[in-house]
Amino acid sequence: MHNGIPLFPPEASNFAPRVDALFFFLVAVTGFFTLLIFALIVTFIIRFRRRRPDERPEKTHSHMALELAWSVIPLGIAMVIFVWGAVLFYQSRTPPPNAETVAVIAKQWMWKIQHQDGHREINELHIPVGLPIVLEMTSQDVIHDFSVPAFRLKQDVVPGAYTHEWFIPTQIGQYHLFCDQYCGTGHALMTGTIYVMSKEDYQQWLGGAPAELTPRAAGEKLFTNYGCIACHSTRAPSLAGVFGSQVAVTIDGSPAVVRADEAYIRESILDPGAKIVKGYPNIMPSFRGQLSEEQIMDLMAYIKSLSGAAEVPNYSGPSGSTTQPEQTPPPMGDVPSFPNRVNP
The pLDDT value given to residue 282: 82
Say yes or no: 36 and 166 in one domain. yes
Residue 53 domain flag: no
Residue 172 carries which DSSP code?
-
Say if CB 139 and CB 106 are below 8 A apart. yes
144 and 238 inside one domain: no
DSSP annotation of 51 reads -
Whole-number Å distance between alpha carbons of 171 and 164: 22
- The pLDDT tens digits for 171-214 are 999 999 999 999 899 999 999 999 999 999 988 888 776 667 78
Task: Please tell me the predicted confidence (pLDDT) of residue 210.
Answer: 60
- Same structural domain for residues 101 and 244? no
**CB 116, CB 137: distance < 8 Å:** no
Question: 22 and 152 share a domain?
Answer: yes
Last residue of a domain, one of 181, 212, 243: 212
- Is the whole model's pTM more than 0.85, yes or no? no
Q: What's the sign of the alpha-carbon dihedral 11, 16, 18, 21?
A: negative
The confidence band for 246, taking pLDDT boundaries of 50, 70 and 90, is confident
Position 111: which residue type?
A: W
- Helix (H), strand (E) at residue 216: helix 215-225
In this structure, are 185 and 245 located in the same domain? Answer: no
Q: Say which range, 195-199, 213-217, 269-273, 308-312, has the weakest mean pLDDT.
A: 308-312
Helix H or strand E segment including 111:
strand 110-115
pLDDT score of 312 = 47
Residues 35 and 166 in one domain: yes
DSSP 324: P
CATH number at residue 233: 1.10.760.10
> How high is the mean pLDDT of the chain?
81
Regarding whether 189 and 253 lie in a shared domain, the answer is no
- Residue 25, pLDDT score: 95
Residue after which a domain boundary falls, among 212, 232, 263: 212
Q: Are 241 and 211 in contact (CB under 8 A)?
A: no
Q: Answer yes or no: is 156 within a domain.
A: yes
Q: Residue 96 belongs to a domain with what CATH number?
A: 2.60.40.420
Compute the average pLDDT of residues 246-266. Answer: 85
Q: Which residue has the higher pLDDT, 174 or 64?
A: 174
Does 319 reside within a domain? Answer: no
Asked whether the predicted pLDDT for residue 327 surpasses 70, the reply is no
Measure the N-to-C terminal CA separation of the chain; round to a whole number of Å.
44
Number of domains in the chain: 2
60 assigned to some structural domain: no
- End position of a domain, from candidates 212, 247, 280: 212
Helix (H) or strand (E) holding 247: strand 246-251
d(CA 95, CA 225): 34
Are 264 and 185 members of one domain? no
DSSP-based three-state secondary structure for 229: helix
- pLDDT band at 32; cut points 50, 70, 90: very high
- Write out the residue range of the structural domain in which residue 196 sits: 9-43+65-212
Question: Given this model, what pLDDT does residue 253 score?
Answer: 80
Quick check: is 1 in a domain?
no
By CB neighbour count within 10 A (0-12 exposed, 13-18 middle, 19+ buried), where does 20 fall?
Answer: middle
In a domain, 198, yes or no: yes
Q: What's the pLDDT at 310?
A: 43
Buried b (16+ CB within 10 A) or exposed e, 257-292: ebebebebbbbbbbebeebbbeeeeeebeebeeebb
| Residue 282 main-chain phi, psi, to 5 deg | -90, 80
275 contacts 265 by C-beta, under 8 angstroms:
no
Q: Do 114 and 179 fall into the same domain?
A: yes
Q: Identify the CA nearest to 232 among candidates 245, 223, 221, 243.
A: 223
Torsional sign, CA 289, 295, 301, 302: negative
260 and 281 housed in the same domain: yes
Same domain for 196 and 242, yes or no, is no
Per-residue pLDDT, averaged over 230-259, amounts to: 83
Residues 175 and 12: beta-carbon distance below 8 Å: yes
pLDDT digits (tens, 9 = 90+) for 78-112: 999 999 999 999 998 899 988 999 999 999 889 99
The predicted-structure confidence for 130-167, as pLDDT tens digits, reads as follows 999 999 999 988 999 999 999 999 999 999 888 999 99
Instruction: Look at residue 315 and tell me if it is in a domain.
Output: no
Question: Contact, 204 vs 336, CB < 8 A?
Answer: no
* Cα–Cα distance for residue pair 206/210, rounded to 1 Å: 8
Residues 191 and 222 in one domain: no
| 50 assigned to some structural domain | no
